[in-house]
Amino acid sequence: MNGVHKEIMKFKLDHIGLIVENIEDFKKIVRILNPDTVTTQTADPIQKVSASFVRIGEESGVYVELLEPTDETSPVMNFLKKRGGGLHHLCFEVDNIEEASKMLVKEGFAMVTPPVECSAYDKNFKRDCIGVTRIAFFMMTDHLLIELIEKGT
């Protein structure tokens, strides 16, 4: 590498996104498995979804995100109609969403949504942040999205 130290970008699995028709119905099942880790359902008007998170395991920092479209114009409505819901995306936490986004594009990932604010994430986890959490979406294959998240501090 010509003596140049190349910094490795860290991607930490944050959550696995599932599209569901009705979050409350799904949460009934989840509460049996892990009742103390379900967050309050929160709407995101930008993404036109309502979301709730469930932690996987007792000590894991990884969550399952349950996403329900809030109306017919929601970006996930088509996914729900075509597939009936299911695995939608993998989300990775990054320290710098701008640099991570550039790297993914350079590696051939198609940017679907550039970095945007996602205050609903902070509300969902009752996080009091100075900076707002930001997210971006990339197409990894024809059927799986990758989400990046840079959490507000």
CATH of residue 59:
3.10.180.10
In a domain, 1, yes or no: no
In a domain, 106, yes or no: yes
Three-class secondary structure of residue 12 per DSSP: strand
In a domain, 135, yes or no: yes
Q: Please determine, for residue 107, whether its predicted confidence score (pLDDT) is greater than 60.
A: yes
In a domain, 2, yes or no: no
Task: Read off the amino acid at residue 80.
Answer: L
Residue 7: per-residue pLDDT: 60
pTM: 0.88
**Structural domains in the chain (count):** 1
d(CA 101, CA 8): 14
Residue 51: per-residue pLDDT: 94
Mention every residue, 6+ apart, whose C-beta is less than 8 A from residue 121: 44, 51, 127, 133, 135, 149, 151
In a domain, 77, yes or no: yes
Mention every residue, 6+ apart, whose C-beta is less than 8 A from residue 24: 41
Q: Please determine, for residue 2, whether its predicted confidence score (pLDDT) is greater than 70.
A: no
Q: How confident is the model at residue 133 (pLDDT cuts 50, 70, 90)?
A: very high
Q: Look up the domain containing 41 and give its range.
A: 12-150
Residue 76: per-residue pLDDT: 93
In a domain, 81, yes or no: yes
In a domain, 3, yes or no: no
How do residues 6-47 score in pLDDT, each as one tens digit? 467 899 999 999 999 999 888 777 767 666 678 889 999 988
Q: Please determine, for residue 3, whether its predicted confidence score (pLDDT) is greater than 60.
A: no
Three-class secondary structure of residue 95 per DSSP: coil
Residue 30: per-residue pLDDT: 74
In a domain, 96, yes or no: yes
